[in-house]
């Protein structure tokens, strides 16, 4: 039989049994839709994280009051921070100033507090930083208004997203508006440019005040002379690893701890990337496991349908062999049918997966259309179909005409 004959015969067979094969295709559709949707969202999530990491200067080091063991378990990249192990104080800052490679050192604080605007009160994150220094270690940019000055008090900067939506779309915050933060009146001096999110501090949805004001706002939870983190910029050309060693040496002396007793962590760009990479690897493995289960189900559905088809068409196989079809022809017919089921399921599953991604994007999940993922979904479904149909096809090809004619349904 010519290849065109095999294709035509298989197509007519599928058309004749389309009811059963559509049920099989549904299983493939679900599996491929899951694969395409998860891969697309996973890729978009990776790009979002890369974008957030870019909001940090490549020469910035962060010191946080969490033990190294807690941070290595995913704290800095896992979305939630572990319980603090120690405290960071002005004494630590003075120690760090002894390191010549550190150009800018800023104290940072952050708490969730009550914020009110035009009669609507919410609870959100307010961060305190030192003006003139923080800008050097982040990508903080002004869209409207002016930058925070060292002499400023009771003024606040607000993220672009927060200004538009935090208090409702009918209550947009503008420059010179007043917010009530923990019962104190603060004037808005600037709206920040939208970044799409920031790693460690969400600039788009955050509120920022002078570090000295944070002692007043966070009284009861932040003692004077203490801070939640320290950010330091390393001089260009300096050996980052060597600088990190010096930082740990100074802080070990300041905290009077040994290496295995450290109640703080130093997060340099490489460490942050490794921490985030570990989390993303876990996410990738998890998504891959889910997708694999879906594909296994779809593949088993194709195999079951093809084995049933072989049994029902045993006498038909005998007739084909009697009129000259060889084992290769019979195997080709069943493989093409299995591949066609997979391909059709792949096309429809890919379309469904992209629809799911689009709907998810409407609810704020990251989404980025990648034609390669769509093509992969279709081709992968075809391959799964062919592989799933291989053993039924081989069984059909191995039947002798005599055995086939003797078979009684």
3-state secondary structure 299-350: HHHHHHHHHHHHHHCHHHHHHHHHCCCCHHHHHHHHHHHHHHHHHHHHHHHH
Integer CA distances (angstroms), 206 to 52, 197, 356, in order: 14, 10, 30
Q: Are residues 237 and 281 both part of a single domain? A: no
Residue with tokens 């808005």: 188
Q: How many helices (DSSP H) and strands (DSSP E) are in the chain? A: 13, 12
Clarify whether residues 92 and 205 are in a common domain: yes
Q: Residues 6 or more apart from 254 whose CB is under 8 A from it?
A: 91, 92, 95
For 31, the token pair is 């599996």
Is 272 within a domain? no
Same domain, 151 and 203: yes
Domain membership of residue 267 (yes or no) is: no
Domain count, the chain: 2
Are residues 121 and 250 both part of a single domain? yes
| Domain boundary, last residue among 262, 292, 321 | 262
179 occurs within a structural domain: yes
The number of residues making up the chain comes to 409
Packing angle, helices 269-312 and 314-322, rounded to 10: 80
Per-residue pLDDT of the chain (409 residues; tens, 9 = 90+): 566 666 676 666 666 666 667 777 787 888 888 888 877 877 777 777 666 665 555 688 889 998 876 665 544 444 444 455 578 999 999 999 999 999 888 899 999 999 999 889 999 999 998 887 766 666 678 899 998 888 999 999 998 888 988 888 678 899 999 999 999 999 999 998 887 654 444 678 889 999 999 999 998 889 999 999 998 888 888 888 899 999 999 999 999 988 888 889 898 877 777 777 677 777 767 776 776 677 677 777 777 777 777 776 776 777 777 777 777 777 788 788 888 888 888 899 889 988 888 888 887 777 777 788 888 888 888 888 888 877 777 777 776 766 656 655 5
Task: Judge if 106 and 227 occupy the same domain.
Answer: yes
What is the CB neighbour count within 10 angstroms for residue 167? 22
Q: How many whole angstroms separate alpha carbon 22 and alpha carbon 19?
A: 5
CA distances to 54, 56, 148, 207, 211 from 128, in Å: 21, 17, 11, 9, 4
Q: Which of 239, 262, 285 is the last residue of a domain?
A: 262
Q: Which residues, 6 or more positions from 282, have their beta carbon under 8 angstroms from its beta carbon? A: none
Same domain, 93 and 211: yes
CA atoms of 285 and 53, how far apart (whole Å): 22
State the Cα–Cα distance between residues 148 and 406, nearest whole angstrom: 91
Q: Does residue 70 lie in a domain region?
A: no
Domain extent for 386: 3-51+277-406
Q: Which residues pair with 230 in a beta bridge?
A: 63, 107
Q: Within this chain, do residues 124 and 252 fall inside the same structural domain, yes or no?
A: yes
Sign for the CA dihedral angle at 330, 336, 342, 344 comes to: negative
**Same structural domain, 184 and 286:** no
- Say yes or no: 188 and 294 in one domain: no
Residues 354 and 257 in one domain: no
pLDDT of residue 130: 87
Same domain assignment for residues 246 and 335: no
Cβ neighbours, 10 Å, residue 282: 12
Q: Would you tell me the crossing angle of helices 18-53 and 371-398 to the nearest 10 degrees?
A: 150
Answer yes or no: do 366 and 283 share one domain.
yes
Domain boundary among 227, 262, 297: 262
């Amino acid at each position: 039989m010519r290849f065109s004959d095999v294709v035509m015969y298989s197509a007519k067979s599928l058309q004749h049994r389309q009811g059963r094969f559509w049920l099989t295709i549904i299983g493939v559709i679900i599996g491929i839709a899951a694969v395409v949707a998860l891969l697309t969202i996973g890729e978009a999530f990776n790009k979002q994280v890369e974008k957030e990491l870019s909001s940090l200067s490549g020469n910035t080091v962060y010191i946080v009051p969490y033990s190294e063991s807690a941070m290595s378990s995913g704290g800095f990249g896992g979305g939630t921070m572990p319980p603090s192990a120690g405290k960071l104080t002005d004494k630590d800052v003075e120690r760090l100033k002894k390191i010549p490679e550190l150009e800018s050192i800023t104290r940072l604080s952050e708490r969730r507090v009550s914020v009110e605007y035009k009669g609507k009160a919410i609870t959100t994150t307010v961060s305190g930083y030192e003006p003139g220094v923080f800008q050097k270690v982040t990508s903080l940019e002004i869209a409207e208004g002016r930058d925070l000055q060292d002499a400023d008090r009771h003024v606040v900067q607000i993220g672009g997203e927060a200004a538009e939506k935090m208090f409702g779309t009918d209550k947009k915050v503008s420059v010179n508006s007043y917010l009530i933060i923990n019962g104190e009146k603060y004037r808005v001096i600037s709206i920040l440019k939208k970044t799409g999110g920031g790693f460690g501090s969400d600039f788009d949805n955050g509120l920022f005040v002078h570090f000295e004001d944070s002692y007043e706002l966070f009284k009861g939870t932040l003692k004077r002379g203490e801070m939640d983190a320290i950010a330091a910029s390393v001089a260009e050309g300096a050996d980052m690893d060597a600088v990190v060693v010096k930082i740990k040496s100074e802080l070990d002396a300041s905290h009077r701890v040994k290496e295995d007793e450290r109640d703080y962590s130093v997060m340099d760009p490489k460490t942050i990337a490794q921490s985030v990479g570990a989390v993303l690897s876990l996410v990738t493995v998890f998504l891959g496991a889910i997708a694999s289960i879906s594909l296994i189900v779809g593949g088993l559905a194709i195999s079951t349908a093809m084995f049933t088809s072989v049994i029902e068409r045993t006498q038909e196989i005998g007739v084909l062999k009697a009129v000259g079809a060889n084992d290769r022809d019979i195997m080709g017919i069943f493989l093409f049918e299995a591949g066609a089921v997979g391909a059709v399921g792949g096309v429809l599953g890919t379309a469904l997966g992209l629809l799911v991604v689009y709907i998810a994007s409407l609810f704020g999940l990251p989404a980025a259309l990648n034609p390669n993922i769509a093509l992969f979904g279709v081709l992968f479904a075809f391959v799964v179909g062919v592989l799933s149909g291989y053993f039924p096809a081989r069984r059909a090809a191995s039947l002798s005409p005599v055995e086939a004619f003797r078979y009684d349904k």
